[in-house]
Structures are given as structure tokens and as C-alpha cells.
Amino acid sequence: MIIRADTSLYGVFGNPISHSLSPLMLNRAFAETGVNSVYLAFGVDDIGAAISGVRALGIKGVSITIPHKTTVLEFLDKIDETARKIGAVNTVVNRKGLLIGYNTDSSGAVRALKEKTALKGSDVVIIGAGGAARAIGYGIVAEGGRITILNRTIAKGERLAKDLGANFKPLAEIKNLDGRILINTTSVGMTPRVDAMPIKSDLIEKEILVMDIVYNPLKTRLLKTAEDAGCRIIDGVSMFVYQGAFQFELWTGKKAPVEAMKKTVLAAL
Ligand code: ATR
């Protein structure tokens, strides 16, 4: 691609940002579809000032990541209904100067799940009660799934369960899983502590679908254990790629080249 005066700029705002795979993935998507745009990573501390920069420079869209997904809301002109319910934005679209916030973590997770199973009427167990659990949980509820939240910290888990209309159980007290779908939204199992698992392995029985949002390593101990038990698994790259694909589609109006995006991410891991 040749960078010209009319090349559009996109980016990601977060801190830390140097390990983000989003620039590789989104630039591949632009190259693949012939969209004359570039996507850069910005280490941002002051999200308000960075959003002013988007307006001043005419940046066409940005991804928002840790720690700005909640604080960014007050600086935008409009928030999509799902993102407002979740209380977090991971995508900003600049529509002729109007900055609109969306949440594609939610739709990305739902797409990764629906590729493997129906969600309507399904019992889903979510481990964790942070921002990722909230986004994924809202997506599943909107699809008609029933959720049980398992969390280490009781007050935090109970709060999310109440907001989602879900059940809650303390993580430490789990004797059996009340669901056919299990999702880990905590960082347990992530490099370098790859031997860690968010729940005991004997809780994982055959015929459960197990998803992990951790993608480094690609096959976490949880996913390995699940596979050994005969379960189907969804790795963290699926959700990551789909949330990026939905961003690309919101920004360009074109269908995202999902396979190419996934290949790029897998090659980088
Ligand atoms: P994010 O926004 O990325 O989801 P977060 O808000 O920090 O991140 O939430 C992390 C979640 O992982 C929390 O539910 C946290 O449990 P607590 O509420 O008890 O803190 C969970 N978590 C992180 N490390 C954990 C560990 N070692 N064991 C169990 N749960 C853990």
C-alpha cells in the first residue's frame, strides 16, 4: 500500500500497548481488502486528550483497551445501546466528526460461541467478574442464554450477577458445574504462569464446551484439560479476531477478511 495524503488513520489507545496484536491484524485487514488506511498503536495515559486528538486530526476510528474502556464513555458523542448497558466501549467510530462508541468484545465473543453451539436456552458458567466477563455476559443474555457467575471475590461476583440477572457462586465452593458451556474470563493460565487453572480439572466433564479468553498461550492448561476430557474447545484467538473483525466492519462497511486476520495473529503468537 502507498501512503498518500488521503490515507485514513486508525489506531488503538491503551497502556501498556507495546504487545498489542491489533496493529498487525487490522493492517492485514486493510491490505487484504485494498482499503487505503493505516492502524497504529498509541500508548495513552490521558484518554480525554487522546479523544480530542481524534477530533482534531480526523482519525477515522480507534480501538480502546485497558485501562480506558470505561473512562472513555464521557468523551464520546453517542454510545451504542449495547455498549451503554455493558458500561464499556472498545471501539470508537468517527462518523463525520460525531464520535460513536461500540462494544465488539461482546459481539465477538458471541460469534465465537455461536460458531460451535446455540446460546438460546443454554446454561453458561462464566469464571470471573471483570470487564471481560461483563461484556461476554451481556452478549450471552441478549442471545437468551442463562448464566452462572463464579468469582473469587464474592461482592464483585454478586454485583455482576445481579446486573446480568444471573446466578452467583463463590469460585472456591464449586462442587460441580451447572452448565454445558464454560468460559474463563480471568487471566489465570496466562504466560508466564501457564500451569495455573481457574477451576479444578475434575470439574470438567465430557461434552462441555470450554472457551478461554486467554490467547497466550494459545492452548491454556484449561483448554488442554478440556480437550483431554473429550470436550470441544474455543481458544482466545477466536474472540480476539472476531472483535477486531466487527471493528473493521464498523469502520469500513466492508466484510472483514477473517481468515487472513486470524492467520496473521496465529503467526505472531
Ligand atoms: P478484565 O477487565 O480484563 O476482565 P479485571 O476487571 O481485573 O479484568 O477482572 C479480572 C477477573 O479475573 C476478576 O474476576 C478476578 O477475580 P476477583 O474479582 O476476585 O479479583 C479474576 N481473577 C484474576 N486473577 C485471579 C486468580 N488468580 N484466581 C481467581 N480469579 C482471578
| pLDDT score for 1 | 86
Stated as kind and residue range, the H or E segment containing 238 is: helix 236-252
Residue 78 Cα to ligand 1 middle (Å)? 29
Residue nearest to atom 29 of ligand 1 (CA): 152
Pocket residue to mutate for ligand 1, from 186, 190, 212, 214, most atoms within 8 A of Cβ: 186
Q: Is the CB of 187 under 6 A from ligand 1?
A: yes
Would the CB of 188 count as within 6 Å of ligand 1? yes
Q: Which residue in the list 69, 85, 169, 262 is annotated as catalytic?
A: 69
pLDDT at residue number 23: 98
**Among protein residues, the one whose CA lies closest to atom 2 of ligand 1:** 131
Residue 118: predicted pLDDT: 97
**DSSP per-residue letters across 75-135:** GSSEE-HHHHHHT---EEEEETTEEEEE-HHHHHHHHHHHTT---TT-EEEEE--SHHHHH
Which protein residue's CA is at the shortest distance from atom 30 of ligand 1?
A: 152
CA-CA-CA-CA torsion for 85, 215, 19, 243, nearest 10 degrees? -40
Regions of the chain with pLDDT less than 70: none
Q: What integer pLDDT is reported at residue 178 of this predicted model?
A: 86
pLDDT at 58: 98
Q: What is the pLDDT, as a whole number, of residue 134?
A: 96
Q: d(Cα 264, Cα 73) in Å, to the nearest integer?
A: 30
> Ligand 1 centroid to 223 CA: how many Å?
18
User: Are the C-beta atoms of 41 and 18 separated by less than 8 Å?
Assistant: yes
Confidence (pTM): 0.95
pLDDT tens for 120-134 read 999 999 999 999 999
CB atoms within 10 A of CB 216: 15
- Rounded Cα distance between 65 and 103, Å, is 11
Angle at 212 between CA 68 and CA 88, to 5 degrees: 20
Ligand 1: which residue has its CA nearest to atom 22? 186
CA distance 98 to 253: 17
Q: Is the CB of 243 under 6 A from ligand 1?
A: no
Nearest-5° angle of CA 197, CA 201, CA 202? 155
C-beta of 185 in contact with ligand 1 (< 6 A): yes
Residue with cell 486467554: 214
| CB contact at 8 A, 76 and 21 | no
69 catalytically annotated: yes
| pLDDT for position 206 | 83
User: What is the whole-number distance in angstroms between the Cα of residue 238 and the centre of ligand 1?
Assistant: 21
Q: Ligand 1 mean position to 129 CA, how many Å? A: 7
Span from the CA of 21 to the centroid of ligand 1 (angstroms): 22
